[in-house]
């Protein structure tokens, strides 16, 4: 079993190697895999980008990124030296007609690794570059023995998705395509499966008979930093909702897969996407934080959404009539990643004297970031001579129950790609359908409303969910 977890010898090529994602996530992830002994016995990483970067500078930047990654940094110089010597950088504008430099760099790296190593190409670049990079890989013969990882979003709209999908299909075998969505690599997102299907008590309630509505809420504190080039073309709806939040929604809404294999899970998730009702303009609220237009690289009249909230219905037997509310935004009041199931209210006759307007709902909230775990919030009898009800909570945290440090999503997914496990990646038909679901809203979007930094976004997002309200477990104390 363990030997299957040690990947075969591999040359990893990272396109966009001096970009934000490579620095913040990919290089630290590879370093930690190396430190834990999860990289192949023999491997090399080639960073690729247009800008001129010397090997030594690439290594220096990688070290700075690893130190900043908040994951222990470098604490052993020998470890670092054995990692750094395996990194190199190739400055090239790779694509059809210009593949020579990379072909040569891969040849050298393969010679250093020895034998006929596998190749892992990681496209950590904006979605508009995926097609030409894929064509370049095909033309150069670099798809042989290779797996290709595509960052999200896979396309920028339905048409873009189909064009890209066609190119990718013509060059790479489907079993070698790894469309990444790093939320699927989060321990707590995987835990949705465990919670639902390893516990009858949760699954028994997980349907329209007991659930009033579902919230998937991913506010962020950070702004767009140096990512204006990417963000101006994407915005919150494409960057987060169609991708991460829809994938989480599929985990919450899907039927039990027949086993834990990639195919079984893909099939159930795609069924969820198929049954999602297409978004209309009135199901969407878009916002932009004040000051966004002052950021470098942002147009003075930018209409890019830095906030998006939507209401979506899943028209199937389990979820008929249960709205799902999804919200995310930059520069909001808090960084949080939660999924909340709000339960239907109980019959009220016997409680009329306590709550004339009915009892408030119970909630199950799963925390996907920070102190990961889940909180059940319910009503209990308050101590005293009469029956009075108060809010109480039961709480599970990974830290308390299991103690161990959680594996970072990118580490897990890179390792999965190295060993050839596609379970936590996505399938093209599912992605195509998610673009269909948002197509009308993208063609005919509502106006982008301003919001103050450090708040919960435009008021219209509260109106979207009304008469319900956005919920966080600590609000019980209000």
Which tokens sit at 134? 């894929």
Minimum gap (Å) between residue 97 Cβ and ligand BG6? 30
Nearest CB to ligand BG6, comparing residues 237 and 254: 237
Which tokens sit at 437? 């679901």
CB-CB neighbours of 116 under 10 Å: 11
| DSSP states of 157-210 | SHHHHHHHHHHHHHHS-GGGEEE--GGGGSHHHHHHHHHHHS-HHHHTT-STTT
Which tokens sit at 133? 């990079």
Tell me if 367 sits within 8 A of 375, measured CB to CB.
Answer: yes
Closest-approach residue to ligand BG6 (CB): 239
In three-state secondary structure terms, 326 is strand
Nearest CB to ligand BG6, comparing residues 308 and 441: 308
- The site string for ligand BG6 over 196-235 (x = CB under 6 A, - otherwise) reads ------------------------x---------------
**Rounded (5°) CA angle 90-94-99:** 90
Nearest CB to ligand BG6, comparing residues 110 and 239: 239
Minimum gap (Å) between residue 161 Cβ and ligand BG6? 17
**Rounded (5°) CA angle 170-130-310:** 110
Site for ligand BG6 in 229-268 (CB under 6 A): 239
Minimum gap (Å) between residue 408 Cβ and ligand BG6? 9
The count of chain residues that interact with ligand BG6, using the rule CB under 6 A, is: 2
Which tokens sit at 321? 């009539």
Minimum gap (Å) between residue 346 Cβ and ligand BG6? 36
In angstroms, the CA 232 to CA 427 distance is 26
Nearest CB to ligand BG6, comparing residues 239 and 367: 239
Tell me if 87 sits within 8 A of 53, measured CB to CB.
Answer: no
In angstroms, the CA 390 to CA 476 distance is 10
Q: Residue with structure tokens 């006759």?
A: 349
Nearest in space to 72 (alpha carbons), one of 413, 411, 338: 411
Nearest CB to ligand BG6, comparing residues 176 and 408: 408
Torsion of CA 48, 52, 54, 58, to 10 degrees: -50
Tell me if 231 sits within 8 A of 343, measured CB to CB.
Answer: no
Nearest CB to ligand BG6, comparing residues 143 and 216: 216
Tell me if 304 sits within 8 A of 235, measured CB to CB.
Answer: yes
Site membership for ligand BG6, residue 367 (CB under 6 A): no
Which tokens sit at 224? 């767009």
Residues 6+ apart with CB under 8 A from 365: 338, 339, 340, 341, 374, 375, 377, 471, 472, 473
Phi, psi dihedrals of residue 215, rounded to the nearest 5° = -120, 135
The rounded radius of gyration (Å) of the Cα atoms in the chain is 24
Tell me if 314 sits within 8 A of 278, measured CB to CB.
Answer: no
Nearest CB to ligand BG6, comparing residues 220 and 367: 220
Please pick, among 32, 34, 213, 244, the residue that the annotation labels catalytic: 244
DSSP code for 11? E
Tell me if 79 sits within 8 A of 85, measured CB to CB.
Answer: no
Minimum gap (Å) between residue 220 Cβ and ligand BG6? 5
Minimum gap (Å) between residue 20 Cβ and ligand BG6? 9
Minimum gap (Å) between residue 241 Cβ and ligand BG6? 11
Minimum gap (Å) between residue 411 Cβ and ligand BG6? 12
Nearest CB to ligand BG6, comparing residues 119 and 415: 415
Nearest CB to ligand BG6, comparing residues 217 and 220: 220
Which tokens sit at 88? 């190199």
Please say if 34 is a catalytic residue.
no
Q: How many CA atoms lie within 13 A of 109 on its CB side?
A: 28
Minimum gap (Å) between residue 232 Cβ and ligand BG6? 13
Question: Checking DSSP bridges between strand 324-329 and strand 307-312, what pairing results, if any?
Answer: antiparallel
Instruction: Write out the residues near ligand BG6 by the rule CB under 6 A.
Output: 220, 239
Active site residues: 244
């Amino acid at each position: 079993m363990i030997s299957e977890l040690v990947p075969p010898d591999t040359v990893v090529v990272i396109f966009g190697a001096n970009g934000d994602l490579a620095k913040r996530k990919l290089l630290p992830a590879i370093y930690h895999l190396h430190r834990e002994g999860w990289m192949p016995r023999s491997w090399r990483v080639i960073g690729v980008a247009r800008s001129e970067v010397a090997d030594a500078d690439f290594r220096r930047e990688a070290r700075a990124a690893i130190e900043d990654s908040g994951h222990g940094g470098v604490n052993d110089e020998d470890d670092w030296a054995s990692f750094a010597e395996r990194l190199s950088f190739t400055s090239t504008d790779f694509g059809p007609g210009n593949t020579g430099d990379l072909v040569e760099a891969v040849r050298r790296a393969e010679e250093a690794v020895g034998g006929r190593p596998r190749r892992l190409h990681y496209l950590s670049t904006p979605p508009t570059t995926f097609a030409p990079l894929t064509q370049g890989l095909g033309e150069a013969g670099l798809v042989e023995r290779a797996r290709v990882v595509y960052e999200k979003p896979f396309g920028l709209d339905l048409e873009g998705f189909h064009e890209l999908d066609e190119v990718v299909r013509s060059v790479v075998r489907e079993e070698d395509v790894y469309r990444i969505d790093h939320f699927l690599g989060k321990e707590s997102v995987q835990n949705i499966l465990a919670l639902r299907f390893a516990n009858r008590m949760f699954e028994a309630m997980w349907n329209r008979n007991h659930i009033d509505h579902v919230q998937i809420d991913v506010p962020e504190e950070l702004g767009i930093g140096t990512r204006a080039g990417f963000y101006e073309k994407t915005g919150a709806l494409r960057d987060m909702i169609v991708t991460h939040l829809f994938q989480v929604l599929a985990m919450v809404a899907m039927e039990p897969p027949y086993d834990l294999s990639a195919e079984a899970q893909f099939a159930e998730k795609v069924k969820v996407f198929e049954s999602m009702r297409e978004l209309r303009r009135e199901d969407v609220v878009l916002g932009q934080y004040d000051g966004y237009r002052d950021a470098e690289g942002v147009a003075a009249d930018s209409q890019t959404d830095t906030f998006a909230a939507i209401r979506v219905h899943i028209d199937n037997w389990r979820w008929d009539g249960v709205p799902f509310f999804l919200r995310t935004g930059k520069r909001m009041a808090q960084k949080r990643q939660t999924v909340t199931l709000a339960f239907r209210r109980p019959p009220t006759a016997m409680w009329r004297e306590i709550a004339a307007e009915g009892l408030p709902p119970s909630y199950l909230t799963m925390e996907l970031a920070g102190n990961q775990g889940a909180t059940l919030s319910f009503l209990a009898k308050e101590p005293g001579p009469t029956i009075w009800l108060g809010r109480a909570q039961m709480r599970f945290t990974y830290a308390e129950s299991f103690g161990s440090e959680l594996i970072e999503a990118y580490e897990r997914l890179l390792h999965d790609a190295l060993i050839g496990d596609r379970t936590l990646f996505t399938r093209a038909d599912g992605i195509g359908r998610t673009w269909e679901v948002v197509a009308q809203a993208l063609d005919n979007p509502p106006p982008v409303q301003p919001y103050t930094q450090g708040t919960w976004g435009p008021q219209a997002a509260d109106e979207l969910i009304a008469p319900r309200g956005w919920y966080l477990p600590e609000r019980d104390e209000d």
